[in-house]
Amino acid sequence: MRAVGRAFLVAIGIYAVVYFVLGVGFAFGGKSPQAIALGAILIFGVAYLLAQGFADEAPQALTQRTAAYAVVVTLSYLLLQRASEWLTAGTLPATPQAGALEWALIILALISFGFVAVAQATLPLWAYHPAAQGLRVHLSNGFYVNAVTDRLLGGWSHKPTQEGAAK
């Protein structure tokens, strides 16, 4: 669990350094909250990568490689974002100002992706717990949403009539 926490802290640190320190030199400043949130969501994936390298059994070389890859991925994201802005300049409208609804959606997306990233990174720690094995059955069946919607929508399906079946 410490490795996961350390991985998230390092990933956020990498994002802050690459985005806010190096970003100023590459003219990345002045990004919209939406663009910063997308970068933060990317960092949750980078944190998962780092968690693999920070595992207790991981050799030092793996830890160093994953940290280097995390920096490269973060920098690549920012460069690709900048390139896409340059290529679409003048063809797309400006990013709208984030209002209350947009901020709520940004925060909800960050919390959701953060929760999934932590759950994914800690999966090896709790995957063999009996409660997790029981939950796995329900998750693999999609919490039975298909059965419920089939039952609800079953009345909408076209059923052949006696006349149609005879033909």
Give the C-alpha separation, 138 to 15, whole Å.
Answer: 36
pTM, 2 dp = 0.65
Q: Where are the domains of the chain?
A: 2-88+100-127
pLDDT tens track for 44-100: 888 888 887 777 777 888 888 888 888 888 888 888 888 888 898 889 888 888 889
103 near 72, Cβ under 8 Å?
no
Do 107 and 54 touch, CB atoms closer than 8 A? Answer: no
22 pLDDT more than 90: no
For residue 150, is pLDDT > 70? yes
Distance CA 87, CA 85 (A): 6
Number of C-beta neighbours around residue 144 at 10 A = 11
